[in-house]
Structure formats: C-alpha cells, structure tokens
Amino acid sequence: MKPVAFAYARPASVGEAAQMLAAEPGAKVLAGGQTLGPILNLRLAQPALLIDIARIPELAAVGEDADGATIGATVTHAAIEDGRVPDPTGGFLARVARGIAYRAVRTRGTIGGSLAHADPAADWLSCLSALGTQVYITGATGTRTLELDTFVRGTMETALAKDELLTAVRIPRFSPRARFGFHKICRKAGEFAEAIGVVAYDPESAIYRAVAGATNGRPLVLALRAGVAAKPFTVAEAEHMLQSMRYAGDAYERQLHAAALRRASELAFAP
C-alpha cells in the first residue's frame, strides 16, 4: 500500500530536530526507515510530519577511548557488520549486526532507530542489554544519559519524551579475554526472533550476564553470581535462569527461550 500523505522536514542539527518534535505533536522521527517504512506503507501509523534525521552529521559519528566506544544513533547495521566502526567487544557487535534482517535492510537500518523503536524482538536491544550500554539523549531543553535498561520501559515503549531523540550509544570496553554468545531462534532467516539468548562474560571485570530477549517485553537481564562456572549452560540451568528472570510465557515459549540461552552459552564458551 502507499502511505497516507505526510509532510517532510530535514533538520540540519539535533537541536533543530528536537524543536520540530516539540512543535508538532503528530511528528515521527525517520532515521533509516526500515521499521517505520513498512508501518507507514501499511498505514498502521499516520504521522502528520516525518523528521528525517539521517543526514545530521553528529548522529552518524563514532568515537572510542580506553573505556569504550560511542556509536552515533544513525550508524547503520551494515557499517557495524563491515567493521567500519570501533568495536569495544572485539568483534561481537559485527557478528550480531550480520544477523539482523537482510543486507538490503542493514544498509539503511540504524542502531539508534532500533533501540528507540524498542521492539522486543530486535537484535540490538538484547545484545546491548548484555553489554551494560548507556544511551545519550538530547531534547529541546537539554541532554541526559540513561542506562539502556532504564531507557526501555516495555514493548515499543521508552523513556524518550516527546521532544527527545536518542543520539548515540555508549558501549563499555571489554577485555581481550571476554567471551560473548548471541543466538536467536526464528523460523526464517532474517525474520523477527521468537527467542533471543545472549551471554556476556569478562573475567577481568567480573561481568557475567545472561539475557533473554524477544520475550514480548523488556529484555530480561540476569547478573550471574561469581560462583557460576564459565561454561555452557545445561537445559536445567537455562530454565532456572529464566525462572530467576521471572520469565512469563507458556511451556513452548519457555523451552524456546531456554534453548536460545543454552545455545548462546555454547557459542560464548566454545573451546
């Protein structure tokens, strides 16, 4: 279908975009458009104004220092897949990016757009939740920084106010000994995941986290106790973790999520 008519604006800066958002209640931000485009075409959303932020230079900027990397909101999945951005995880980000939807989507879809949309089945939401990511936000009246798990409030629901944009993500640096695993279960390659499992383990910073994603709500993050061995989870362990995360789903879904967690741990701790 064709979308209903909308107005289009292309602000030159984040500040200008925030002011437009504040001024027009029916406005939606357009970044890569790989989620919004289908929604518009299907007429499930009918915004009065699209604010195209895809050409604002500061939003596509990246940087890194000893503690981590900052990736601008409109950096595409393909740029991450291709290793064109700093990766403080030693390659894990690129591996996750490679599995997002399809190449023709990854070339336009953005990391910030994915987080701001907060679809529970999105790859970055689960992946970045396991890494202890912060998000940078700019509004009409100022800026703020939130932990990702505070930023995401539920299914497609975030802490962004009406006049705010997510401008960048900040990912901490992991040691060379860190291990990561990401596994998603979908019926067709590139489709929305039915379950996502993520494991992040860094013996040098004592980080050991497991995440159950695509749960139809926020990603469920479990900080594993120091005593938990850094080795692949058994089925019983994965199910116990889901319980600790207070996962609510039927028996089939629980099994999917337990399998995703277990497979993620196998990837993380593969010899």
Partner 1 sequence: MTRIALTVNDTPVTAEVTPRTQLAEFLREHLLLTGTHIGCEHGICGACTVEIDGEIARSCITYAVTCDGAHIRTIEGFDADALMADLRRAFAEAHALQCGYCTPGMLIAARDLVRRKSGLNRSEIRTEMSGNLCRCTGYVGIVDAIERVMAGGPSLQSAPPQGLDRNHGKPRAQAGGDRVRSWLGPAPGPVASPTPAPPRASPVGRADVAPAPRRAAPGRARGPIEVTVDVLEDVGAESRIRQSFVLPHPRDAVWRLMSDVPALARCMPGLALDGPPSGDKVSGRLEASLGPIRASFAGEGTLRRFPSDFRQVVAGSGGDPRSGSRASGSVDYRLSAVTDEAGGETTRVEVIIGYALTGPLAQFGRAGLVRDLVRRIGEALAQNLDAQLCDPGAALPQAQLGGLSLLLKALADQARAFLSRLLRPR
**Position 25 contacts partner 1 (CB under 8 A):** yes
CB under 8 A: which stretch of 3-11, 199-207, 219-227, 259-267 binds partner 1? 3-11
For partner 1, the closer of residues 214 and 224 by Cβ is 214
Residues 161-180 that bind partner 1 (CB under 8 A): 162
Residue 227 Cβ, how far from partner 1 at the closest point, in Å?
29
Sign, CA dihedral 98-101-107-110, equals negative
Give the Cα separation of 91 and 176 in Å (integer).
10
**Position 78 contacts partner 1 (CB under 8 A):** yes
**Position 70 contacts partner 1 (CB under 8 A):** no
**Position 10 contacts partner 1 (CB under 8 A):** yes
Note the Cα 240 to chain centre separation in Å.
25
Give the Cα separation of 138 and 144 in Å (integer).
7
Give the Cα separation of 105 and 258 in Å (integer).
29
**One character per residue 186-225, x = contact with partner 1 (rule: CB under 8 A):** --xxxxxx---------------------xxx--------
**Position 24 contacts partner 1 (CB under 8 A):** yes
Residue 18 Cβ, how far from partner 1 at the closest point, in Å?
12
CB under 8 A: which stretch of 98-106, 174-182, 227-235, 237-245 binds partner 1? 98-106
Give the Cα separation of 271 and 269 in Å (integer).
6
**Position 134 contacts partner 1 (CB under 8 A):** no
